[in-house]
A and B are shown apart, each in its own frame.
Chain A
Amino acid sequence: MKNIITIIKKQFRDTVKNKPVLIQFLMFPVMTLIFENAIDVDMPELFFVKMFSCMYVGMAPLVASASIISEEKEKNTLRVLMMAGVRPFEYLIGIAAYIWILCMAGSAVMATSLPSEDIPFFMTMMGAGSIISIFIGACIGIFAKNQMVSTSLMMPVMMILSFSPMLAMFNDKIEKVARFVFTQQLKVTVDGMSFENAGRFGACVLFANAAVALVLFFMAFRKKGLE
């Protein structure tokens, strides 16, 4: 536990200094606040909160976990941590906890535009979605040798996860494919602020995505470890 807290502390110290990752966490919450308050045209209710929150889940945790892990691998600081007695699972839990906490903070900022009765449901969905996204990012981070490879692998995954809910709104064909992606089901669920919209299929997609992310994560970890 002590080492997990050390990793979380280390990451918090790095937050302000690591601009590319910081931007990921700030961009959508800030954009949500601005758009929700500044744009006054005939739009569906809370359109930007619902849209940007799904994009946020598909982007920030994924980018953060992949880039943090791959950077530590590239710069050989991860090896130093392992040699100092930090176990791989402690490191990964520490990183995941840090990212999740920041994502929840960002989500809380977005939730300020929501009616108070919807906030617990919204935060639960954001929390669950962030976990799936963190696992996918960690797979990429573990698999990639360095940051450049990590970015190359991360970009297409990030585009699919974060942009498919938006594109699905404008194109039925894309929607037919996007419905198998957890961020699209998240969008559907958050749109109605209940599981009713997504139905059994939506729940299945969420769980299937989570299971695939978990299996991929363990496969990547078994194959590559943290070396």
Chain B
Amino acid sequence: MIRRVLELLDERTGIKKVAQHLLDEPIKGGARWAYVFGSALLGSFMVQAVTGVALMTSYAPSDKTAWASVHFIQFQQAGGWLVRGLHHFGAQAMVILLGAHLAQVALFGAYKKPREVTWWLGLGLMAITLGFALTGYLLPWDQKGFWATRVATNIAGTVPVVGDATQRLLQGGPEYGSLTLTRFYTLHVVVLPALLIGLVAAHVALFRRHGVTPPAKADLSRVDAFFPKQLLKDVVAALVVFAIVLVMAVREHGAPLDAPADPSSDYPARPEWYFLALFQLLKYFHGPLEIVGTVVLPALVGIYFFVLPILDRKDGTALRGRVKPLIPLLVVGLGAVGLTAKARVDDANDATFQTERAKADLRAKASVRLAMDGVPPEGPLVMLARSPEIRGPELFEKHCAACHRLGEHGSEKERSAPVLDGWGTEKWIRDMLHDPDGDERFGRTSYKGEMPSLDVKPSDADESWSPMTASDMDAVAAFLAREGDAPNESPPAESLRADPKRVARGKEIVKARCTACHLFEGAGDDGGQGLAPELSGYGSHAWVRAQIANPSSNATYRESAFSAPEREGLGRQMPRFDGDLSPAEIDLLATWVLERARR
């Protein structure tokens, strides 16, 4: 049945002859493992094409959607991580195979007459493959790809005469913008594949025309047909490569995804490993010499590869006779390995780089976690800007850490305002009642000496003074800490405020005793000092928000708290932030500070 269909088909297409012609190609000197690299490259390219088309069905190239769609592919879509991982590691496999193929062809002298054009087409294919790597790296629009590609396009811009035009064409304008990603995408999925397929066809056709270049000592009387002896070796090689790629993809569970591209961030940019040698080269040439590293040396290497068949025109492919023309190849190979290793070692020993890398990794992790709930239409950067976890520490560092300290943010030595760790918790309030002027509390502030201890007798106290009992202090701590809880939050079972009776008693004590100086629900402060803050809602999100927006209002630290004449000149006062920060930022900062303080 199948045979009959094939015969019918052959009658109409002549397919048998074509297949025979393709499969029965004679391999002079016999099939060899050394010949597998070209076919393995072709096999890898097929895998790249198939996985690439699959990825195209979910990827959305724009600066607002690219990262989010890659995140979706990596973490949400069925089979997404595997396809992305195969594509990512498949690309690296192609770069390695490219090096192996080039080395094999050079060592066997397969570039020599009459195969010069095959060699040159191969060089063109190498350029295209590296173009694939470069353009593909940008597509996730994450920090890594964004910064590495930015450096690459800026290097293109330093080329004399054509540099500026090249850079503009790549970027779609003088700067990175909406068109950059679209243009890279078009190059990656249409232009480069079309060029590659065209050149591969010509490369393979010429290879078929001239056949393999067996080693000088090979027994030329032995001839194998391409199928099955050589093809089997090729298929085995392609399978081994695929297996390695698969293992890498599974081990990494896909491919890494850095934080979304953020043009305003500081990021320790490094290219993918196969461009590390070029990256390292840039470190050695400064000022007017920079172009030596960016353009001259790489161009010299390219020219050398191009003229190699012209340099090496003596008869015979024995390696001994070709040492001289191949010396530059050895230098380039060793140089690339050496520079790559140096770049690696430099980074491993660079503490600043390691810290920045660790910071970037944390941000990447947090971004990935946040995006699990989806990304707003405005893009992943807006998602990050709305996240207390990401934006909170940044705002705190910028606006609060000059005076306060919270965890690792702020300087303990230079701080002039209270430590915020534990602020508003039961323990903190207990400490405050006992010793308000402790170094972590009012000790370094203009409030030092304003609030009396409730269980240590002041030197100027009269006979009637009595200390507050421990159980009363517990009740006050329970009540005030409870004020800080969110409306629907239930206190932990082991906490003081878990007992409603204690909380109620605390409220009575606060209303009776503390309002001599403090406000409670707007009333109190019998002496009219205008110093002690409002205690209702103390430590709640609303209280903190009000305090950040404007500490000199009766909602928190009172209208005159930081402006009374006797308080001026006592060092830094807490300023209001409702001018510098938007209401949304104040809200977010309050959320983060509370979360961190009470954690």
**Chain B associates with chain A:** no
